[in-house]
Structures are given as structure tokens and as C-alpha cells.
Structure 1
């Protein structure tokens, strides 16, 4: 059959951008997916959400705005007979750009970009540029794409979401759903060294709110001012992944050594926080912690400069059994089997708001953010933000107004990018800071 042209995907993106109605967007996505061949589904899904690789991949395009601008500015040098690019051709070329390395790779990347843009019409070039920078601005997030997949394949949306949580690869989920339906989706289970999407928390105003919502009793843990990590151990091998599912093992060998020293030798996946500490034992600023996670050279020298402590709070897999459907209380019991007490997060189980408030005071006095409240019978819902976990932090609110904005530069050219915030002094607005994307 004829391959689907990239222009069809570009037109889909414009249609998605033109409506704000969720049902219309999912219907558009569903109708488009039904027209695709099996080997076009994964590329189309990823490109539509502004991605080339699944979340679990460390690969990047590594194409800057200046490089792309040079290519676009030379866009007039097109071929005499324009070839209509297909979705698969665009996807394959972007993958080739990402894998280019070594001497001359920068020029090779530009040449590949030039060949693509020389064959594109203005609409295709616009959408292609958005894909390259991962900024689609069409109002389609991962959740909406999952709904479209479920609608297209007439499968349970909850099952589609679970499959993504297990694999971190929305393209693979879509392929399996289209090809094999619910049977295929159920076959997608967690694997060692493939990170699960982390469970997320909502915010509660007070310990009392959490206790009431959880039926009169809750677990309260320190909310550490660190970086969330997921640790996989199989035999002697340990791999560690960040909250964004990036493999950070090589940057934190001290945490690897800690885990290798655990007496428990059965395979496991556990979750916790890595916290950078100073000479006084108090947490260092988050910026210092990030220096550890981004370091790839002279790593052990950085270990000496910025030591880490490990605080664990959940067990997701143990001795061949996936634990995410087990209640929190049971997962914690298994965590206690896996890790020595010194590595467990500080926590209490209580029905007293006063006791929880005292624990929060202790946490903040020690330099941490506050508390996590957790329902004792709650399952672990990877990638989901529900009410089974609450975060509680001391907060101060301030009413501000936007008093000015800056025009963006580079890839944000033509957009208002930085917003200046002010407070009313009684006679004028005083600027107190800026807010950026995010």
C-alpha cells in the first residue's frame, strides 16, 4: 500500500490545533490512526506529540535553534521536482540525525535537515520544526493520545494507560493495541531495567485533610529535598533511573555501591530520593544535587565534593512479582525486607493531625520540604496523579500581577516568553521577579 505522506500528519496537527474540545481531538486522532499501516503507527504517535524517541530512551536530536534557522533560511534552495515525504521517511531521518556522532557529525546533521526541509511545503516545514523542538502547541498531551488509542482500538482506556506505565513507550503501546487489542496490551508487563513511570501526588492543605480523606488514618513520610530515583537490581547489576526515566547510573556510583551492599539478593525495583548533604549533614541546594546527576567525567571526585544520602519509600517489584497492585502497607513491609533500616524514609502511621504536624515541623527544621501523606491500602499507580498520595508543604501565598513581558528569542521568537511579576505598594507596582515556561 502507499505510505502515508507527512503532509497528512501536518494537516492533522493543524486540525488538532484548531479545536479546544477534547472529544473532537480524540476523534481526530482516532480517525487518523485507523488509516495508518501498522509500521506507521509508532512514528505517527510520537511525531504528533513532538517526540522522536520514547521516554525511556536517552537519545536526543541535539539540534539547536541557530542550526535549524540556517537550514530554514536556505530553504529556497529546493529541488526542481519536490518529493512528497512520508511519515516513515521523516521519522527515519530524524533517527539518523540523533545517531550521528564523531567527526563531521554536525555538518552531517545539517545536510540531513536540509534534505528534509528542501522537500517540504510551508505547512510541513512548520510542523517539522515544532517536532524537532518538542513544542507542538496543538493541545494534545500524552493522556489525550492514550484516549485516542483506546477509542480507535475499542479497548479499555485504563488498560491502555497501564500498558504505557509498564513500558514508557506510547508508540509501542499503540502498535500492540491496534495489532492485538486487549490481549496484546495485557502482555506488556514491567521488565527489569525498563523504568516504570512514577506515581504522582496531589496537594493537601493540612494533615487533617489527608487523615479525613484516608478514612481516619494515614502514613506520613518525610518529603525530602532531593531527586527521585528508581533503582533496579538483578543479581549483581544495578541500574538507576531518574524521575524522567533517564538512566543516571554512571553519575551516582555511590548510590550503586549502597544498593549492592544490601543483604537481600533477590531481584527488586525500589524507589526513593537521593539527597545531597553538606558537612553539617543538612541538605544542600537542589542545584548542587543536579551537579551530581549531570556529571559524566571525574565522577568520583564529585562524589567526594557532594556526597549523597539515600532514602527509600516504595517497592515496585520483588522476586519475580510486580507489586503495584498491592496495598502501600504491604509494599512497605517488602521494602523493609529489601533495604536496611538506615535507608528507609522517616515515617509514622497515625490518626492524629497533631502528631503529623509535629513530624512536618521536624522535617522542615531538618531542611526538608515537608511531608508525604499516603493511603495505607492504596495501590501504586504509575504515571497517575490521584488522591492516594498527598504532598504537604508549608507555603506562603502572594497575590501578584503580570506587569510586563519580554518577547522570546531563538525558537520562542514571536512569542511572549518571560513575564515580570509585581505587587502593589499602595502607589505603584513593584517588580519582584519573573516567571518562565513551566
Structure 2
């Protein structure tokens, strides 16, 4: 298939706000694709190429872009082959080779194709075709039940492979796409509540568990082989040998565990999140040890547990990993839930997660069965721009502009980010130096005193609430925003939404 057909489809999807129309347009494209083109097309369409990171940013794209081709000749296979090459380039001279390969690709692209490729490689497609829409389009194209396709996508963590099976396999093949030990599963997510008592009232009898200020991990073991994944399904086994050794020592043959990891100080209290993330992101093991704390088990010795109630999964977890379970209590009493919350805070943790005791594991979904409770509102936002500092911060990039995701397109393009405030609170000298080095590398343009950047950097931000404001397009502004930490483990698509923030209005 020609790349131009994908570009035309993306343009058609972008101009309509109807979800049904988006699904129908995408389904028509998917029906025309060869099996080998499915994964590359979906990756480009979602702004997340199947190759992962390929070492291409805004500056390299700008430098490589020349006169466009007059007629479309590029195929999906041409683009995919080039991206394969870019992803594997390394060593001396790789930067020059990467630039040459990128320039050759763009030289064969028309003006519209160049623009599409730039947006796709920067994760800024903005068609409103998020994963949910694309998943529904796969179901429509294959004439399969939406629930079956969604479940296969969630459990496989691979939308391209799900599309291939749905479109070119049988209904039985799709139904058989389940949890595979060693293949990462999209993690279950939690909604929010202001108090533990409110959360308990919403779910009934629940496991009220400590919410650790750590990094999410999913650990798979098959025999002696252990693999560890981040919440974004990146394989980081090589970074965490101490956790792999702990799981190898468990009395199991095969297991899939969900949990968090964090560093502890000499009193076994949690170290600052930044220290955990510095160790978590290191490419080689370091002296600082990370401890695993598990709160769920999804598979155990040939038996999938995701459709079993939480009380069953907890019992199995207690049997195989008693020393590494997250602390908590099962209760239907709001006073007990509030006590556990106070104890978690006193121990230095973020708060609690209240989980319905009979709930199943809804992979990849933010449902109402898990509810997190924090004393301070904390949201994951995206940096849109950063201002030049003044006074003591002169010469540094300081005040950051914060945006919330707008998946519905209520305040602009679907999937874009809506500015909700600025802050320089919570920025240490080390963070200021990091910002000053980092943000010019993803700069898109400048205005007086402000560097505008690609919306790809997620920052965990604490706020006291929101207030109405005509200053910003979403109609709200953050109250007393302060930076907690930059989150390298999260994608822009994981950011909190403008709708969630607006829900804080009284």
C-alpha cells in the first residue's frame, strides 16, 4: 500500500469529530491492508512506530527535510524498512548515517507525506484516532465482537498482532489470544477519590492497600527465565537483577506478578521518588537496591487468574510471596479504611488504593473497581513550554507550562493538550539544570522568553485543586501547582485529562 493512502485516511479521520465516522474510515483502510502492513500502519497512525525509539527528534527531522517529491511513490513497506534501519543504527558515524537515511526517506515523500511522517515520528499525529478508536475499527473491519478484540489487545499488549489475528485469523484464534507468560499485559489502572471512606462506599468490601511512591512493574517468570516490564511494557530485566532473583526464589514454576518497586532508606522507609527513578532508569545495576512489592498475581503455574476475584488472587499471592506483598487490610468499615490510609501516610507512602474484593483484573482499563486515594491531588501533566529564568535562575529554563490531555476534543483537536497553568515550584537546582539541557533538544519554536517544546515530557504535579479561569482554553487553572517529579516511565498518552481536572470544580 502507498503511504499516501494512509495519509489521506488520517486527514479524513482528523476532520471529523464523529467517533462512528472515524471508526468507519479506519475500518475501510484496514480491510485493504496486507497482513505485513498492519503493524506498521497502526504504529504510524498512533504516533508510536512499531520499532519503538529510533533516535529521531524534532531537530533531526527539521535538518533532514528538503524539497518534497512531486508524486507519491513511497509504500508502507519502504517507510517500515527505513525505520528498521534507523532503530538499529549505533556506533561511530551512526548519527551521520541516521541523518542520511532520514533525508533519503523524506526526499521521496510528498509535502503531505512529509508532514504526516514528522508528526508520526514525534508522536503528534492528532487525528483523534486514539487506541480505543483504532481497536473498535479493527473489530468493525474484521466483523468481530468489540469485546473480543479489546480483550485480545489488552492481554497481548500488541495492537498490530491483534489486528492481524482479527482480520486474517478465525474467531477461535482471536478468542485464544490470551495471557502468555513472558509477554507483557497492559496494566489495570485506578480511578480517584478524595477519601478512603468515599472509595469504600463506591466499591463495598475491599482490600485497602498502601499506595507506594514507586515505579510500576510487571514480572513474568517461566521456569528459571524472568522478564520485568514497565507500565509502558518496556523490558527492563537487565536493570533489576535483584528483583529477578527474588522472583526466581518463589515456590512456583510460572507466574505473572503486578506490583511496584522502590528504594528504601536505612530505616526501611521509602527514599525520595527521584532516587527510585534514577535507579529504575539506569541501564546497568547500581549499588542502590530496589525492593519489589506485589499486589496482584495474574497467572500461576498454568492457570490464568485475571478472571478470578481479587480475594482468590490475594490468597495465592500470600502463599507464594508473603514477604513481598503490599501491606493492607480487607474491610467494609470506613473507619478501618481511613485508619489504613493514615498509617500509609505516616509510613511515608502516597496514600491507599481501595480495591473491590470480588473484582476481576481489567487489563488496560481505568475502571471503578480500583480507586486510589491521595491527600494531595496529584496529576500527570505534559510540559508544553518553558520560560527563561530570571534573578537567581537567570540563564536557566525555569517556569514550565503544563497541559492536560483532551481525548474528546472538547477544547481543540482530539488528543491534543490543553494548557492549565504554569509553575516553578518544586524545581531543585539539579532539575533546573536538567530542564536547561533537555528542553532545547525537543524545541519546536521560540517566542519572547519562552521555549516551546514537543508535548512528550510527563511531569507529576501536585495541586491543591483547580479554579475557574478565562485565561486558559479549558476554563480552569491549577491552584498552587508544584512539581513532584518528571516521569520518564510514562507516555504523553498516560497524562490525566482536562475532563478529570474539570471534575474537581465545586
Q: Verify same fold: TM over 0.5.
A: yes
- Give the superposition deviation at 1:434: 7.9
| TM-fit CA distance, 1:257 | 2.0
Instruction: Tell me, yes or no, if structure 1 residue 347 matches structure 2 residue 324.
Output: no
| Structure 1 residues 198-277: aligned runs within 5 Å | 198-215=187-204, 217-262=205-250, 264-277=251-264
Find the counterpart in structure 2 of residue 160 from structure 1. Answer: 149
CA contact (8 A) 2:220 2:255 kept: yes
Could you tell me how far apart the structure 2 residues matched to 1:23 and 1:129 are?
27
Superposition deviation, residue 40 in structure 1: 2.1
Q: Deviations over 1:335-383 (max 9, x none)?
A: 12211x2211111111111111011000001110111111111110110
For residues 229 and 266 of structure 1, the distance between their equivalents in structure 2, rounded to whole angstroms, comes to: 19
Q: Deviations over 1:304-362 (max 9, x none)?
A: xx2322211101010111111111010111112211x2211111111111111011000
Q: Are 2:63 and 1:91 equivalent residues in the alignment? A: no
Q: Deviations over 1:50-94 (max 9, x none)?
A: 1221xxx7x42111322211111xx13x77x86610112112211
TM-score, normalization by structure 2: 0.75
Q: 1:354 to 1:67 in 2, by over 3 A?
A: same
Q: Does residue 30 of the first structure (1) align with residue 27 of the second (2)?
A: yes
- Which residue does 1:112 correspond to in 2? 101
Q: Which stretches in structure 2 are left out of the alignment for 5+ residues?
A: 379-418, 424-438, 456-462, 468-476, 487-491, 496-506
Paired with 1:319 and 1:433, the residues of 2 have a C-alpha distance of 46
| Distance in 2 between residues matched to 1:434 and 1:140, nearest whole Å | 32
Aligned to 1:64: 57
1:16 aligned to 2:5?
Answer: no
Q: Would you say the 8 A contact 2:252–2:300 is kept in 1? A: no
Query: Distance between the aligned counterparts of 2:193 and 2:308, measured in 1?
Result: 24
Sort the Cα spacing of 1:328 and 1:430 in 2 relative to 1 into closer, same or farther, 3 A. closer
Instruction: Name stretches of at least 5 consecutive residues in structure 1 with no aligned partner.
Output: none
Aligned-pair CA distance for 1:423: 10
Q: Note closer, same or farther for the CA distance 1:295–1:328 as it changes in structure 2 (3 Å cut).
A: same
Aligned to 1:63, the other structure's residue is in SS state: coil
Inter-partner Cα distance in structure 2 for 1:312 and 1:257: 15
- Residues 363 and 371 of structure 1 are in contact (CA less than 8 Å); yes or no, is this contact kept in structure 2? yes
1:329 to 2:361 alignment: no
Q: Any idea what SS the aligned residue of 2:24 has?
A: helix
Contact 2:44–2:121 (CA under 8 A) maintained in structure 1: no
Q: How many residues align?
A: 411
**Residue in structure 1 matched with residue 342 of structure 2 by the alignment:** 361
1:40 counterpart = 2:22: no
Structure-1-length-normalised TM-score: 0.86
Tell me the CA shift for residue 36 of structure 1. 2.0
What is the alpha-carbon root mean square deviation over aligned residues?
A: 3.0
Q: Say which structure, 1 or 2, has more relative contact order (CA 8 Å, 6+ apart).
A: 1
Partner deviation per Cα, 1:270-324 (whole Å, 9 max, x = no partner): 1111111122322112111111112124x2xx23xx2322211101010111111
1:413 aligns with 2:445: yes
Aligned partners of 2:13 and 2:129 also within 8 Å? yes
